[in-house]
Structure 1
Amino acid sequence: MELGIGMFGDLQINPQTGEIQNTQVRLKEIIEEIKLMDEVGVDFFGMGEHHRADYAVASPEIILAAAATVTKNIKLGSAVSVLSSADPVKLYQDFATVDLLSNGRAEIMAGRGSFIESFPLFGFDLKDYSSLFEEKLNLLMRLNNSETVTWTGKHRPSLINQSIYPRPTNGKMPIWVAVGGTTESVIRAGKLGLPVMFAIIGGSPINFKPLFEVYEQAFVDSGHNLEDMQVGVHMHSFFGEDSQEISNWYYPFYASQMDRIGASRGWPTYQRTQYDYGRSRHGHLIVGDVNESVDKILQMQETFGLTRFSAHMDVGSPDHSKMMKAIELYGTQIMPKVKAATA
């Protein structure tokens, strides 16, 4: 099982003044954090795409290109690229460039996105939310599988015998699909034989078990080899040396971000009881000390048969120094114990 870290590029917001952290400062911190991930042996890094004042990263591929020049081994991917509002051709070219810069370490993780700001920004209609993604995913796969493409769709001008450059280091790149809780998305990914990353960011992880089973069934029924199936989970995580101390320290950051997102979605105010349940054996949060985190990651692996685990570590933009410590603990203590247990 590969163990990685995901980020959305959250910007810290002062709870008293409402002042938002300087984007330039946070971007430089992110590069330092990715560099440390590489040094401590983290397997992969994923960066999300957002178009809001409280997030620093609108173009994951630019961050990944910068990270490619200061890292040696870590895989670099999006988490996610909002494919529905992107041009698959330009997206593929950008990631092929990252792949060349990183000597073959780039990946694309495509998703429909839970935030919708990119649709009006790039001139797309939300009524086409599903059809845009399905069509563009089809094109993205064609671009990956063939240097010269002839393709016709509804939402983008046709390609007639068009060659796409540059090409990635090994001719193709891994393409993952990120899914939330919709059966439709899971079945689509299974039929296409694409690796899938489940975002478990609320409730009880065990509730996702039927979706894993649906994905596996669609994967096998579509003629794909079960040995090639790759599944991962993306879970909100943070690590410290003392469980109670780190959970108490991190709670205000996490709760504030949940409330900011929830304000636009009609969620009730986030409560400490939700947080504590999330941290329990039955919840979706992995926030605690090394041994607690190891146990819960292994629990996820045993439950779902994972080939990947992604710790989403910057929800609410915790302090850079604490992020660096959490990354160090993850790479030097948590990962070795998980890998030893699953060897």
Structure 2
Amino acid sequence: MEIGIDSFITTGAYEGPLNTAGNMTAMDSLINRIVFAEQHGLHVFGLGEHHRKEYLDEAPAVILSAAAALTKKIKLTSAVTVLSAADPVRVFQEYATLDIISKGRAEIVAGRGSFIDAYPLFGLDLSDYDALFTEKIGLLLKIRDNEVVTWKGKFRPALVNQPVFPRPVQEKFPIWIGAGGTPQSFIRAGSLGVPLMVAVIGGETHRFRGMIDLYYEAGDKAGYSKDQLKIGLHSFGYVADNKQRARDEYFPGYQKMIGNLAKERGWSPPNRRDFEAQTGTFGAYVIGDPEEVAEKIVRHSESLGGISRFTFQMDNPGLTDKQVYHSIELIGTKVIPMVNQLLGNKSII
């Protein structure tokens, strides 16, 4: 199983002005974390895309290219590319270039985004939310599979016998679909025969099994065998030397981060009781000591019928660099070996 980290580069600037010096420090820290993750045996590092003051990931391919120049093995992926608000030709060109720089380590996880900020920013109508993604993921896959493209759609000028360059290093460039809790997204990924990255940021992970079944059923109907499809899982996660310390260190920043989001969306603010429930046996959050975390990753995998990748969402304004680096070290030196042992040293990728 591949295990890694997804980051959104949180700046903590929920209120007040942006800090240029702070942005530079945050960017340096992010790139250093990617290098550190590779050094400690993590398999993949993903970078999200937001267009908000509290994040610094508006141009993920640029940032990942900087990391690619400093690493040799770790896979570098978007998490997710907000494809609905982008031109698939440019997205493909950017990540094909990243694939060249990284010598074949780039991937795309494409999605619609959990925030709507990109739509007014790029002059898009939110009522086209689903139609935009449906058209653009189809074009992106067609470009991936064909050097010369003829295509016509609603939201972009047509392409007529148009070559698209550069071409990536990988013969079958990996393009995943990122999904939350919408059954249609699971069905779409299966119908297209692409890997599915599932973000479970609340509730009980095993409750997603029904939608995973929809993914495989759609793939089967489209002519894809189960071994051609694969599942990744993304959840809030953090590792410390003991269970209580992990929870105590993670909660204050989590409360601030989710509290701001709750205020914006009219949700109830997070509390410690609900947080503890999410870190429990069946909750989605993978927060604890190495043994607890490894066991929970495997339990999540079994409940979903087998996953090939797990990524920690570790961004948290309450964590220090020292705490994050130690967590990454524990993931690489303890969690990954424990997961391999629990799986019987047999890969399910």
TM-score normalised by L of structure 1: 0.97
Q: Is 2:176 the counterpart of 1:138?
A: no
Q: Report the Cα offset of residue 20 of structure 1.
A: 5.9
How many residues are matched? 341
Q: CA deviation at 1:51?
A: 0.7
Aligned AA (1:324): Y
For residue 37 of structure 1, what is the aligned residue in structure 2? 37
Counterpart for residue 165 of structure 1:
165
Deviation at 1:216, TM superposition (A): 1.1
**1:328 maps to which residue?**
329
Distance in 2 between the 1:317 and 1:7 partners? 15
Q: CA deviation at 1:172?
A: 3.5
Find the aligned partners of 2:38 and 2:323 in 1 and give their Cα distance. Answer: 17
Q: How far apart are the structure 2 equivalents of 1:20 and 1:121?
A: 19
1:337 aligns with 338
Aligned-residue CA RMSD in angstroms? 1.4
Shift of 1:318: 2.3
Q: Which amino acid aligns with 2:325?
A: M
- Mapped to 2, the partners of 1:176 and 1:317 lie a distance apart of 31
Distance 2:280 2:269 in 1: 20
Q: Any conservation in 2 of the 1:149–1:159 contact (CA below 8 Å)?
A: yes
Question: Quick one: distance in 1 between partners of 2:156 and 2:7?
Answer: 30
Deviation at 1:323, TM superposition (A): 1.0
The one-letter amino acid of 1:201's match is I
User: Deviations 1:10-43 (Å, cap 9, x if unpaired)?
Assistant: 12359xx967661111010000000011111111
Unaligned runs of 5+ residues in structure 1 are none
Deviates further, 220-229 or 314-323:
314-323
Distance in structure 1 (CA, Å) of the matches to 2:104 and 2:131: 31
Which segments of structure 1 move beyond 2 Å, counting only runs of 4 or more?
17-21, 315-318
1:263-283 CA distance string (max 9 Å, x none): 111111111111100110011
| 1:35-70, Cα deviation, whole Å (9 max, x unpaired) | 011111111111000111100110110111011011
Counterpart for residue 28 of structure 1: 28
SS in 2 for 1:70: coil
Contact persistence 1:196–1:230 (CA under 8 A): yes
**What residue in structure 2 maps to residue 211 of structure 1?**
211
Note if contact 1:8-1:315 (Cα within 8 Å) is conserved in structure 2.
Answer: no
CA distance in 1, matches of 2:224, 2:241: 43
1:154, CA displacement in angstroms? Answer: 0.1
Q: Tell me, in whole angstroms, the C-alpha distance in 2 between the residues paired with 1:94 and 1:276.
A: 41
For the 8 Å contact 1:196–1:231, the answer to whether it is kept is yes
**Which residue does 2:235 correspond to in 1?**
235
Tell me the distance in 2 between the aligned counterparts of 1:159 and 1:20.
40
Please show how residues 176-195 of structure 1 align to structure 2 within 5 Å: 176-195=176-195
Alignment correspondent of 2:65: 65
Give the AA of the match of 1:190: G
Secondary structure at the aligned position of 1:264 is classed as: helix
**Aligned residue in 2 for 1:79:** 79
Higher mean alpha-carbon deviation, 242-251 vs 198-207, is at 242-251
Q: Name the amino acid aligned to 2:342.
A: A
C-alpha contact 1:151 1:159 (8 A) present in aligned 2: yes
Deviations 1:194-248 (A, max 9, x none): 1001110011112111111111111112110211111011010011112212211
> Matched residue of 1:132: which SS?
helix
User: Structure 2: where are the runs of 5+ without partners?
Assistant: none
1: CA distance between counterparts of 2:245 and 2:4? Answer: 24
Helix, strand or coil for the counterpart of 2:138? helix
Residue of structure 2 in register with 1:254 after alignment: 254
For residues 127-178 of structure 1, give each alpha carbon's deviation from its aligned partner in whole angstroms, at most 9, with x where no partner exists: 1000000000000000100111011000001111111111101343100000
Equivalence for 2:315: 314
Fraction of identical pairs, as percent: 40
Shift of 1:315: 3.6
Number of the residue aligned with 1:127: 127
1-structure distance, mates of 2:226, 2:75: 24
Q: Is the 8 A contact 2:238 2:286 kept in 1?
A: yes
Query: Does the CA contact (< 8 Å) of 1:12 and 1:318 recur in 2?
Result: no
- What TM-score do the two structures reach when normalised by structure 2? 0.95
In the alignment, does 2:272 pair up with 1:272?
yes
Letter in 1 for 2:328: I
Residue equivalent to 1:175: 175
Distance 1:222 1:263 in 2: 42
2:262 aligned counterpart, secondary structure: helix
CA contact (8 A) 2:249 2:318 kept: no
Could you tell me which amino acid in structure 2 is paired with residue 300 of structure 1?
Answer: H
CA–CA separation in structure 2 for the residues paired with 1:316 and 1:157: 42
CA pair 155-179 structure 1, distance change in 2 beyond 3 A: same
Matched-pair contact (CA < 8 Å) for 1:96–1:168: yes
Matched letter for residue 315 of structure 2: D
